[in-house]
Amino acid sequence: MNTGTDDLAARWAQIRRRVDDACREAGRAPAEVTILPVSKTFGPPLIRAAVALGLHRFGENKVQEIREKSAALADDGIDWVMIGHLQTNKARDVARLASEVQSLDRLELAAALHRQLQHAGRAIDVLVQVKTSSEPSKSGLPPAQLPSFLDALREYDTLRVHGLMTLATHSTEAAEVRGCFRLLRALRDQAVAQGHTLPRLSMGMSDDFPLAIAEGATEVRIGSAIFGARA
């Protein structure tokens, strides 16, 4: 796949079709699943082409990229969604520039974001990233800590907690990948039973989104299947 703008429209239409098919296969309505285009590593021209297709929300995994792209695309009405590991000392930029953080995984970060958001006079949507995979390289809150973490977040009124996010194990074993998604949904269901409101489950990427949709994803984060292979 190339990374030009030419077949962006075709790839976007194709991924929407594949997501819709996965929904129907899972007995779900396509309207239940949102696609978050992940534009990490791709530059303003391609993102502008995506905006021209009607996309206005993009996932990024580095604060530096959000900083550069939000400056270059300031007039395009884009909502930047932070999906990557976030250092506490970058909370200020995120509080200024992002509309949403899906990678909230520790209290220290919640406190830093809250402080900066209070300064900025804003509130943002957040998802709690949970580590459902045993891979050491993956970040996220350990599942056992989720109940107390969600209780502690009630203190921060600038953080509107809407759900959970995870990355599945990178594996060709569908059962293993699916197990990660199933765990996230089970954790959500437990938290809801304890009184939390968590309608959103962000899970699934280009290679595993049908399994995530089968397990209840409300949002899939798609990069390479839309924008092409990353360098």
Ligand X SMILES: *Cc1c(COP(=O)(O)O)cnc(C)c1O
Least Å distance between CB 84 and ligand X? 6
Among the residue ranges 10-18, 110-118, 134-142, 202-210, the one whose residues contact ligand X (CB under 6 A): 202-210
Nearer to ligand X, 18 or 221 (CB): 221
* C-beta of 49 vs 222, nearer to ligand X: 222
Q: Which residue is nearest to ligand X (CB)?
A: 223
Q: Which of these ranges, 65-73, 91-99, 112-120, 215-223, lies near ligand X under the rule CB under 6 A?
A: 215-223
What radius of gyration, in Å, describes the C-alpha atoms of the chain? Answer: 17
Q: Does 222 bind ligand X (CB under 6 A)?
A: yes
Query: 98 vs 23, 60, 109, 125, 200, CA distance in Å?
Result: 29, 10, 15, 9, 18
Dihedral sign for Cα atoms in the order 95, 63, 199, 79: positive
Using CB under 6 A as the criterion, what x/- string covers residues 154-193 for binding ligand X?
A: -------------x--------------------------
Which CB, 34 or 206, lies closer to ligand X?
A: 206
Give residue 198's Cα distance to chain centre. 14
**By CB under 6 A, is residue 38 in contact with ligand X?**
yes
Binding mask 84-123 toward ligand X (x if CB under 6 A, else -) reads x---------------------------------------
| C-alpha angle 55-12-63 in degrees, rounded to nearest 5 | 50
For position 11 contacting ligand X by CB under 6 A, the verdict is: no
Residue 133 corresponds to which tokens in the numbers above?
Answer: 């995979």
> Which one, 182 or 221, has the nearer CB to ligand X?
221
- Tokens linked to 88: 């506490």
Cross-sheet strand order for the sheet of 200-202: 34-37, 219-222, 200-202, 159-165, 124-129, 100-104, 79-82, 57-60
Residues with Cβ within 8 Å of 47's Cβ and at least 6 positions away in sequence, in order, are: 39, 58, 69, 73, 76, 78
In the complex, least distance from residue 134 CB atom to ligand X, rounded to whole angstroms: 17
- Beta strands 79-82; 100-104: pairing state: parallel
User: Which residues bind to ligand X, rule: CB under 6 A?
Assistant: 38, 40, 61, 83-84, 167, 205-207, 221-225
